[in-house]
Each structure stands twice: as C-alpha cells, then as structure tokens.
Chain A
Amino acid sequence: MKELVVISGKGGTGKTSVLASFASLAKKGRDRRLRRGHSRFASGPRAAAAREGFTAGSKARIKPGHCTACGKCEELCRFDAIYFDGPWQRQGVKDLPGGHDRLRGLRRLLRFLPENAIERAGRLRRVVCVRDALRTDWSMLSWAVGAENSGKLVTQLRRTAQQVAAEQRRDLILCDGSPGIGCPVIASLTGASLALFVVEPTASGEHDFLRVAQLTIQLGVPGILAVNKADLNEEVARDIEELARQRGIDLVGRIPYDPAVTEAQIARKTVVEASDGPAARAIRGLWTETRKYLDRSAPAAAGGLVPLAGQQQTQRT
C-alpha cells in the first residue's frame, strides 16, 4: 500500500483541487483506491457509515464552594488558561474564554492544588467521521477539526485510513496535507511513500516551498514538484524548478492558470470531471507521471510525530 501526500507550505496553492482530481482519475482506473481529506466537496455520497470519536484533551472546571482564592492554580498553569481575579470575587479564579484549549497538561497538576477545588469536567471532543462510500469504488475519510491537537488527529486519521485500506485491499491512500511546517504537516508526512509539492510561482510560494522541502528531506520522504498557475510568473516558476532540481525533487507537471478550476469547485466537481480545458489536461498528465513515481516508492509506514530522521533528540539516562 502506497501513500501520497500533497503539500505546499503556503496555503491556497491548489492542493485539494489536484488531489480531488487524482481521486476521480484513480476511480476510473482498475485500481481500488482510498482517499481522504478536504476533497469531500468534489463528489460522492454523504452517508456516514461509521463515526469515530477523537479526544483532543480534557477540560477542567472550578468546583463551586471549594475555591479559597489562593491563586495557586494560576501560578502553576503555564498556558494562561486561568487568571486570578483577586480574593474579593467569591469565585476567585476564572477560566478565560476559550481557555479550555490551553488547559493542556493541567489535569495532573490538579492534585497539587491545596483545596481540591478543580475537577475534570469532561473531554474536548472532536468528531472523526469515517465515511464509506460503497457505491463508488473508493472510501472517503473526513474530519471536523475544531481547535486543538491537530497533529494527533492527523495521526489517528492516517492509522484508520491504513487499516481500512488494508481491510479493503486498496493499494493507494491519497492524503490532503495542511499548509505550514508544524505538527499536522509532520504528522501527515512521517512514513508516507511520496510527497507531491503543489507550488505557485510567487515570492511567497517559493519561500514556503523551500521550508517544506527541507522538512521532507529531514523526514526522508521523497518529493516531486508540480507548479500550479505556472504562467502567472514564468521567471519565478523557473527559479522554483531549479531550486527543486538542486534538492533532488523532479518536476512532474505544470498546470496553467484556468478559470475552469474555480468553476469546477462551484459546481462541486473535480477539475477533470468538469472540464477538458488546459488545467484538466495538465492534471491528467500530472497523474500519469505521479503514478510512475508511486510505483517506484516505498510502501507507507505507520505515521507518528516522533521519528524525525537524522534529528534524534532523545535523551538517555
């Protein structure tokens, strides 16, 4: 089983449009494939076959009548999730609006508080939906991200995807990555077979591509490059292609600017379903090329946040 991750560094460069098109092209082929991510807009039935819970962290609350306004909890919390309102307030301590997102790590600290006035008040839940679209020949996973712990959620999602793909004997997982280089990106790249960079030829596109390319090199994931809206600035496009070449990242396609991409999105279709214009033709070519690289790449491994190749920062005692 192979896993392709589409990333970009910068947001809005066309990751989802490319990936959704790949999914519909793969559907037409004889392979049974699995995709996941944001691309649910493109097509497919919406019935939820299974739902899985995801716990992002726990909430805390101050028990009425127990607080003596000593201020200790505020002192111990390093996430500014609690503030001391002074002893003249009966409650003494308040949690800030949205502060629950910052109560991470507080749970165990609670037992250091003298009056036992703080208790756990349930969990922060985010729902992961696993949707199995039986009438089409691929499965789809999606999720509702609220606030917190997105790296953990990505890892859980990838494990589920790998399980489902193994059960249903699918041979490819298409994964829609996030912008940036932080924990959700690291979580989606670790152990993936191949990374496809979708980059736009702009000063910031280039800057962000270089940072995320460095990350894939650190993680030991091979990469290939597609330049989207390539005709926007030919000079920058050529710069990016040269910088990619120096890093061992092959150019596999150039997608021209095409209003059909936005039109397809409005019609809730993938670009290759909705049009036969220049962008759709380029994406078809890109898919053919990408498959060649996928055939040569390593099988997907279970992902996680920890194993940063070449960056062993663990301490042994």
Chain B
Amino acid sequence: MKIAIASGKGGTGKTTLATSLARVAASDGRAVAYLDCDVEEPNGHLFLKPEILREEPIHKLIPVVDPARCTHCGLCSQTCRFGAIACVGEQTLIFSELCHSCGGCLLVCPEEAIREVAKPIGRLRIGMAGPLHFVEGVLNVGEAMSPPAIHAVKSAAPVAELTILDCPPGTSCPVIEGVRGCDLLLLVTEPTPFGLHDLKLAVEMARALRLKFGVVVNRADCGDREVWNYCRRQRIAILAEIPDDRAVAEAYSRGELAAEAVPHVAERIGGLLEAIRPGAHV
C-alpha cells in the first residue's frame, strides 16, 4: 500500500506525520519504506537519521546541438513549448534550466543535428533507518525542475508492504508527481484560514487526479472549527486529529521524532494506522 502525505500549505506537519507513521508502522515488524519526495527541501533524514548505504546521481536529458550539422532553420526553437531553445542568427542557444526533456526538438530536427545528454540535477540517497527502508532525493540548488528528481525517488523505492511518500507543499507539478499513483492520500492541515484555504486547493487536486484521500488535522485545538465544517459539507473523512502541544514543537526543533518524544502522538498515529489499514472504509 502506498500512502502519500501532502498538504497544500507548508509547515502543517507532513514530515512529522510521515516520519512518525513510518516508524510506528515499522515497529510492528512490517516492511515499511519511507520516500522523501520533497526534493527541494528534504527533511525526513533529520528525524529518521538513516544510515546511507548508496548514493546515485539523478540526471535529466537535455539537447545538445551539433554545430557542423545545424542549418539554423529554427524548427527546434518553434517546437519547444518551454522557451528552452533560442535560434538567434547563426547561433542556437539552449537554456537547460527550462528544458522539460520532452524530446520534441530531436524529433523535429530535419538535419538530425540534436542529440541528448544526461545532465546531473541532484542526488539520490538510499539507506536504512533501523528496520525502515529510506530513500530521499536532493535537488541541486539552482535547479528549477524538481519532478524528474521526484520521479527518480519513486523509481528507486524498494518493494515494501507499506510505502510512505512525504510530498512537497503546494498543489503544483512537484506535488502531482509525488502523489500520482498512490493508494491513499493524506492531506495534513491545521484549523486556520490559511490551512483551510490551501486544504481546499489540495482537495481540488486530489479530486482531479481521482485519488482516494482523507484529512489529518494537526494542532487540532488551536484556531476555529471551519475545517471540520468544510469536511462535513464535502463528505471528507477526518482520519486523525493531533492536538497542539508545545512539547511536539520543541521535539521537532531538536530533530526528534514526534511519535517517540511525545507518547500521545504515538497513540494517535497508531489510531490512524488502524483507520487506514487495507480494507478499511475511508
């Protein structure tokens, strides 16, 4: 079973939930894998403290023009939907940060003057955190495009009974890449106007992707009741509520796992695992 954890708004507790969920599930003796798909700012390693056994570069394909063959016809530049190729007089410029590796320029070039080379955009780190399988992607600073790195993390995932995907905040391309193909999406929110606004966007995304999803309310006793009202109106299941506790925030600030530092969080996580076990109605 693959469970993706996303939120819309940042800082609502995705990593806290994902790492705790992975640790609690693994303590039952299940084969659990934790994938850190937030490749722009991967944090899971700070809490799980894995032993990294293997590191691999992550590449993306970018075009290279053979100047001997190029006739400056400009077809590649017209084809590119991302503005990554510019033909200026006798020059063909390639802006690799904008390239989405679609391969369109190769197909259109009548002179077959374009080939593709792999450009490193980040690193894949694979290891073990106790019994837990751990995979994270780290995007190089200055790289704009994270989806290829997220794809690499998902491709490197070991076979496991339970796979937890810790996704980036937002509702745009990196999140979609992260949540695609999961069996259940957990949307973590907090009961504030910002939390609710971004939850609505995340729900819209989950519905557009036709994913099964439920909500986890973090810091449940701060703020107002609007998140509950919204979920009731929209018939969205609230799978867990985690109370606001300064002890959780302090443990978090030190890089400690919430489920280990604060007993009542472990209890709630156990309840959540029960609620989402295969076959349970969400």
| Cβ contact within 8 Å between A41 and B197 | yes
B230 to chain A, nearest CB (A): 15
| Cβ contact within 8 Å between A98 and B180 | yes
| Residues 87-114 of A contacting B (Cβ, < 8 Å) | 97-98, 101, 104-109, 112
| Residues 11-33 of B contacting A (Cβ, < 8 Å) | 11-12, 15
**B145 closest partner in A (C-beta):** A183
Beyond A147-B176, A182-B143: 14 further Cβ-contacts under 8 Å?
Answer: A9-B41, A11-B10, A12-B12, A106-B102, A180-B169, A202-B255, A203-B255, A207-B46, A214-B141, A233-B253, A262-B222, A265-B223, A268-B193, A317-B92
| Cβ contact within 8 Å between A146 and B102 | no
| Cβ contact within 8 Å between A108 and B144 | no
B156 within 8 A of partner (CB)? no
- Alpha-carbon distance A305/B208, docked complex (angstroms): 28
CB-defined A-B contacts under 8 Å, sample of 29? A10-B11, A11-B10, A12-B12, A41-B197, A104-B81, A105-B103, A147-B173, A150-B170, A178-B170, A179-B169, A181-B141, A182-B143, A182-B145, A182-B174, A184-B172, A201-B253, A203-B254, A203-B255, A204-B252, A207-B43, A208-B41, A208-B43, A214-B141, A218-B141, A236-B253, A262-B222, A265-B192, A315-B96, A317-B70
| Cβ contact within 8 Å between B192 and A266 | yes
- In this complex, the member of A41, A179, A186, A315 whose beta carbon has the largest number of chain B beta carbons within 10 angstroms is A315
Of A22-30, A63-71, A275-283, A306-314, the stretch lying at the interface with chain B is A306-314
| B255 proximity list for chain A (CB < 8 A) | 202-204
- Alpha-carbon distance A182/B101, docked complex (angstroms): 17
- Alpha-carbon distance A39/B254, docked complex (angstroms): 30
| Cβ contact within 8 Å between A109 and B169 | no
Range class of the B interface residue count = 35 or more
Interface residues of A (CB under 8 A from B): 9-13, 16, 38, 41, 57, 76, 78-79, 97-98, 101, 104-109, 112, 145-151, 178-186, 200-205, 207-208, 211-212, 214-215, 218, 229, 232-233, 236, 259, 262, 265-266, 268, 305-306, 308, 311, 313-317
| Cβ contact within 8 Å between B91 and A316 | yes
- Alpha-carbon distance A66/B205, docked complex (angstroms): 31
- In this complex, the member of A145, A182, A314 whose beta carbon has the largest number of chain B beta carbons within 10 angstroms is A182
| A38 proximity list for chain B (CB < 8 A) | 194
- In this complex, the member of A41, A57, A98, A149 whose beta carbon has the largest number of chain B beta carbons within 10 angstroms is A98
- Alpha-carbon distance A109/B81, docked complex (angstroms): 11
| Cβ contact within 8 Å between A105 and B104 | yes
Pick from B97, B139, B194, B223: contact of A306, CB under 8 Å = B97
Inter-chain residue pair count (beta carbon < 8 A):
206
| B145 proximity list for chain A (CB < 8 A) | 182-183
| Cβ contact within 8 Å between A266 and B193 | yes
**B208 closest partner in A (C-beta):** A98
B280 to chain A, nearest CB (A): 23
- Given A109-B104, A182-B174, A204-B46: A266 and B91 interface contact (C-beta under 8 Å): no
| Cβ contact within 8 Å between B81 and A57 | yes
A307 to chain B, nearest CB (A): 10
B160 within 8 A of partner (CB)? no
Interface residues of B (CB under 8 A from A): 7, 9-12, 15, 38, 40-41, 43, 46-47, 64-65, 67, 70, 78-82, 90-98, 100-104, 107-108, 139, 141-146, 168-174, 176, 180, 192-194, 197, 201, 204-205, 208-210, 222-224, 249-250, 252-255
| B38 proximity list for chain A (CB < 8 A) | 180
| B139 proximity list for chain A (CB < 8 A) | 181-182
6 nearest A-B pairs in the assembled complex, by CB-CB distance: A11-B10, A12-B11, A105-B102, A203-B255, A180-B40, A233-B253
| Cβ contact within 8 Å between B98 and A305 | yes
| B96 proximity list for chain A (CB < 8 A) | 313-315
A265 to chain B, nearest CB (A): 5
| Cβ contact within 8 Å between B93 and A315 | yes
| Cβ contact within 8 Å between A78 and B169 | no
| B171 proximity list for chain A (CB < 8 A) | 145-147
- Given A201-B253, A207-B46, A305-B98: A182 and B93 interface contact (C-beta under 8 Å): no
Pick from B10, B94, B104, B143: contact of A314, CB under 8 Å = B94
| Cβ contact within 8 Å between A145 and B172 | yes
- Alpha-carbon distance A104/B101, docked complex (angstroms): 10
| Cβ contact within 8 Å between A183 and B144 | yes
A190 to chain B, nearest CB (A): 10
- In this complex, the member of A9, A107, A183 whose beta carbon has the largest number of chain B beta carbons within 10 angstroms is A183
A316 to chain B, nearest CB (A): 6
Pick from A57, A146, A205: contact of B204, CB under 8 Å = A146
